[in-house]
Structure 1
Amino acid sequence: MQTRSIGTSDLEVAPLVFGGNVFGWTADERTSFSILDAFVDHGLNFIDTADVYSAWVEGHQGGESETIIGKWFKESGKRHKVVLATKVGMLGTRAGLSAANIAAAVDDSLRRLKTDYIDVYFSHLDDDKTPLDETLGAYQKLIQAGKVRVIGASNYTGARLEEALKVAKESSLPAYQILQPEYNLYDREGYETELEPVAEAHKVAVATYFSLASGFLSGKYRSKEDMQGKARGSRVEKYLNERGLKILDALDEAAKRHDTTPATIALAWIIARPSVTAPIASATSVQQLESLAAATRLELDPEEVAELDEASAWQK
């Protein structure tokens, strides 16, 4: 499996990221450990979480995902096999990107993760109330202290990412090496028009979230009945339209040709895009993980990519 670089850093990652939002939410601790072990066994090494996971669940405060990963590191001894990403800025008690908040939040995360360094530390959400040089200066201190290796930006507009990169260059501060945008076969326009040009121009790595459109691209939601009682059902409703079903048809056809699943094809399509370093995807069982890992071994030919491009075209 060919690894890919995170920006201009020396971090090398496999072309698939495991999304840790499920840990402590839809996957309990023991299941999470099994998934993490299987993920590493597949030769994969990039795991993404955040301090806010899973504060949206009743009775949770945030930090549940980090805590499970930390326990797994301690129990398995596999910290050295993982490029670990977590995020700051969205947890209610640690909101924003001020220097003081970042300094406090990173120590909270390190404690939960039972590690002394974070490979990739993301600004989870842009904070227009805090000057960019204050945020980047806070990250500089963390990098100098050995607590963080590289930094990334999630949920930034193209203009703000460009501005942050400019401030970093002019002030000799650390630059964002990786971007985390929403991107999948259905949600294409925002990334392709606004963010991709900036990422390509500045050699910024890209790890896409909602890579399977909250599970819609796995093919398990094809009617409103399929969504009832599902944790992500409400997020999927917007995809149940003519274009969404056309995309599923194209995925079904490609999956049959390769004797694989629609999810595998959907991820392989993202992996094939030159600007993308790795899609983020989650699983709640070792069996589900198999179809994610298979995407790293499947190479779509140009004609298949073109067919999926056409089925998912957003241009009118």
Structure 2
Amino acid sequence: MVKYIEIKSPAKINIGLDIVSKRADGYHNLQTIFYPLYELYDIIKIERSHEFSFTSSKKELNDDNNLIVKAKNLLEKKFSRKLPVNIHLEKNIPVGAGLGGGSSNAASVLLALNDMFNLGMKKDILIRYALELGSDVPFFIKAKPAIGKSRGEILIEVKLNITKPFLIVNPGIHISTKEAFANIQPKESKIDFKAINENDLNNISLFNKLFKNDFEEYVFKTYPEISDIKKIMTDNGALFSLMSGSGSTVYGIFKDIGTAEKVRKSFPSKYLSMVLEGDF
């Protein structure tokens, strides 16, 4: 019997994010490429217990609205049984930052509880349950580079390996996804990501032609500080820079770690900033 599981719950960025249309169910159809950041992750520790408890290194996350608790509750409902565990979250991914931290945590809990309690869920069932928790959650069941369509749950894995370093900068501005969607005008994509061949997809010099983030227009206008982050990156040698998700994190891809580190030091110390080596 598995009594303890410790799992790394990675972040993601969006390489391109097109909001294509609003659906009858209130959600939006989109097109994006999800790219995992394995070097930036939360740690989730799960231990069998007599009753359920959840704690986090960030006290404000300790409530029943946390996707970790919702994931556990969903499985209890689906399997009509209690899953008594202590779950502790060590939070490193910034909250509400467009990096998918909460979604990743939910997927990690689905995977871990499936193993711990021998629930026997195959990947297709896990993905279906993941979608009940949120549009980004299905991606994290496998956490491999993938085109996301529909709400983001239709996933087509792609061979994409970015070997250059990333600079990740988050100014600590919390942007509600609901707010971002409410202020966007959906439009058809000019480029079908599925039609991009593997060579072009791995050619960073083409990224500026191929990819944009439709949320940037509203977010940059409303929060100029976020627009400034992207400008500083592009003015200082970023090969490509984009806001991730609905913000407020902006990332840049640089030719080498030295350049990325130099640019990182130009941002205020109150910002969360890090250089990730790439080549995952």
TM-score range, shorter chain: under 0.3
Greater per-residue strand proportion: 2
Give the TM-score taking structure 2 as reference length: 0.28
Larger RCO, structures 1/2 (Cα 8 Å, 6+ apart): 2
Greater per-residue helix proportion: 1
